[in-house]
């Protein structure tokens, strides 16, 4: 009996050694969760019958440290949650390893080629769409024509009204000028020049608008006695011109509104603090990055950044009920319950750490201590077997 008890202990300790050695081997594995072997005593007819390795438990509730990688598509969960990835068979796996990439079809995939799940952005809105595969379009984004120009500056109250009639070719006929760049429907740049002329009669500022040498219109900026722009002058000009080249129309008419909110007429220097038009040229993708809020941001060659989607995170009522697929990914079971799905930073879900990865949560010192304990237990049980063997030999000799 004692021989069988000691033998069962050796078998259980071998299972424990497998777990310890696997933990130590995966010290450098990103997102790995250490496991431990749980022992249970065995009885037969109320008599001790040895020990067995009853189960193995992974430390899913202990997070590993964060490792900075500097890579745009590396991301770690700083808190609770799992990334959702779908394999080729459509089965969803859950992982803490945020080592992502873009495949040749534009899908966001993990390091094992599984498609990352998230919410696509709805067209023309910041609202989230349905949960599914995240995809980055490989083509160019179309140009967007300009529709407004925001201009903020100080048009000096020290200006003297010009004596000469306004002529854009005569710098003495206006007080100041500034150039704004706008885009047409095919992304070509055009310039609109503002010529500011102080009105001798009212003290206000007249503005003449030109597209190269073409007159676009005229407006007036009226100020109060304390130098603030009157509300009626905030949107003082709505301009339209048709892009042409050698007499041929090259794009749709450009309609631009000027917004002068914040412009002042104080004494001192003339200055421009804002001169920005919306719209942009077409562009191709140059960079993809995942933000700390889980947003999938794509940067284009025209300087635009678009949010294409949002990573989804999952959590479970019972994480210990997850079935391990490997050391870094799991699948839901009846014991774990149905996945609760949300976005990073919302509710119980942790925020993301960009350009970082979660390291293994293995504590090497702890594993080495457990290894020495297992070694002593193994040696003790081998001595039991040795002693039992000597007793049997003595008995045989006596017989």
Q: Is the pLDDT of residue 390 over 80?
A: no
Three-state DSSP class for 364?
Answer: helix
Query: Which residues are within 8 A (CB) of 205 and not within 5 positions of it... i.e. 6 or more apart?
Result: 155, 159, 175, 196, 197, 198, 199, 220, 221, 223, 265
Instruction: Give pTM, 2 decimals.
Output: 0.75
- Is residue 9 in a domain? yes
Domain that holds residue 156: 148-277
Q: Considering 277, 296, 313, which residue would you say is the last residue of a domain?
A: 277
Over residues 105-110, mean pLDDT: 94
The region, left, alpha or beta by phi > 0 then psi within -120 to 50, assigned to residue 390 is: alpha
Write the pLDDT tens digit of every residue in 83-96: 999 999 999 999 99
- Is residue 72 in a domain? no
105 and 208 co-located in one domain? no
Q: Do β-strands 148-154 and 254-259 pair in parallel, antiparallel, or remain unpaired?
A: parallel
Q: Is the pLDDT of residue 153 over 70?
A: yes
254 and 181 co-located in one domain? yes
Structure tokens at 352: 């993301």
Q: Which residue has the higher pLDDT, 126 or 112?
A: 112
Q: Is the pLDDT of residue 382 over 90?
A: no
How far, in Å, CA of 8 to CA of 42, rounded?
9
132 and 155 co-located in one domain? no
181 and 257 co-located in one domain? yes
Over residues 254-269, mean pLDDT: 94
168 and 129 co-located in one domain? no
Write the pLDDT tens digit of every residue in 2-13: 778 888 888 988
- Is residue 69 in a domain? no
350 and 392 co-located in one domain? no
- Is residue 103 in a domain? yes
326 and 368 co-located in one domain? no
Q: What is the CATH number of the domain that holds 213?
A: 2.60.98.20
Percentage above 70 pLDDT, the chain: 98
- Is residue 215 in a domain? yes
- pLDDT bucket at 399, cuts 50 / 70 / 90: low
- Structural domains counted in the chain: 3
3-state helix, strand and coil shares in percent for the chain, rounded to the nearest 5: 15, 40, 40
- Is residue 175 in a domain? yes
Q: Which residue has the higher pLDDT, 93 or 399?
A: 93
Four-residue CA torsion sign, 239, 243, 249, 255: negative
Unique residue bearing structure tokens 């945020």 = 98
386 and 271 co-located in one domain? no
Q: Which of 75, 94, 74, 96 is nearest to 85 (CA)?
A: 94
258 and 193 co-located in one domain? yes
176 and 219 co-located in one domain? yes
Q: What is the largest CA-CA distance in the chain?
A: 137
- Is residue 226 in a domain? yes
How far, in Å, CA of 377 to CA of 388, rounded?
17
Over residues 325-334, mean pLDDT: 91
Write the pLDDT tens digit of every residue in 45-80: 778 888 888 888 889 989 999 999 999 999 999 999
305 and 372 co-located in one domain? no
pLDDT mean across residues, the chain: 91
114 and 135 co-located in one domain? yes
Q: Considering 277, 312, 335, which residue would you say is the last residue of a domain?
A: 277
- Check residue 110 and give its pLDDT: 95
- Is residue 68 in a domain? no
Over residues 193-213, mean pLDDT: 93
């Amino acid at each position: 009996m004692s021989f069988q008890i000691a033998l069962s202990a050796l078998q259980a300790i071998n299972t424990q050694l497998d777990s310890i050695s696997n933990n130590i081997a995966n010290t450098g594995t990103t997102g790995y969760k250490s496991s431990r072997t749980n022992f249970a005593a065995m009885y037969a007819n109320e008599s001790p019958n040895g020990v067995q390795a009853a189960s193995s438990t992974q430390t899913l509730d202990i997070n590993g440290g964060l490792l900075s990688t500097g890579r745009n598509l590396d991301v770690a969960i700083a808190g609770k949650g799992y990334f959702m990835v779908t394999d080729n068979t459509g089965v969803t796996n859950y992982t803490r390893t945020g080592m992502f990439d873009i495949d040749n079809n534009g899908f966001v995939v993990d390091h094992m080629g599984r498609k990352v799940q998230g919410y696509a952005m709805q067209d023309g809105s910041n609202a989230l769409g349905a949960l599914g595969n995240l995809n980055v379009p490989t083509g160019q984004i179309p140009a967007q024509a300009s529709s407004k120009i925001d201009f903020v500056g100080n048009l000096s109250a020290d200006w003297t009204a010009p004596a000469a009639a306004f002529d854009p070719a005569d710098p003495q006929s206006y007080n100041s000028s500034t150039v704004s760049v706008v885009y047409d429907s095919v992304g070509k740049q055009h310039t609109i020049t503002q010529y500011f002329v102080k009105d001798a009669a009212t003290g206000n500022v007249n503005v003449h608008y030109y597209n190269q040498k073409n007159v676009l219109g005229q407006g007036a900026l009226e100020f109060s006695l304390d130098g603030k722009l009157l509300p009626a002058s905030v949107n003082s000009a709505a301009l339209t011109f048709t892009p042409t080249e050698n007499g041929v129309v090259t794009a749709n008419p450009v309609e631009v509104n000027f917004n002068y909110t914040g412009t002042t007429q104080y004494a001192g220097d003339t200055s421009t603090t804002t001169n920005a038009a919306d719209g942009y040229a077409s562009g191709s993708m140059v960079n993809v990055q995942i933000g700390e809020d889980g947003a999938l941001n794509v940067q284009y060659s025209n300087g635009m950044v678009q949010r294409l989607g949002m990573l989804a995170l999952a959590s479970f009522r019972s994480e210990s009920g997850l079935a391990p697929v490997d050391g870094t990914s799991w699948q839901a079971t009846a014991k774990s319950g149905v996945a609760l799905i949300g976005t990073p930073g919302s509710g119980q879900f942790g925020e993301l750490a960009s350009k970082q990865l979660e390291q293994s949560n293995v504590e090497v010192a702890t594993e080495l201590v457990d290894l020495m304990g297992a070694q002593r237990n193994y040696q003790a049980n081998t001595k039991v077997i040795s002693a039992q063997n000597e007793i049997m030999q003595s008995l045989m000799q006596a017989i």
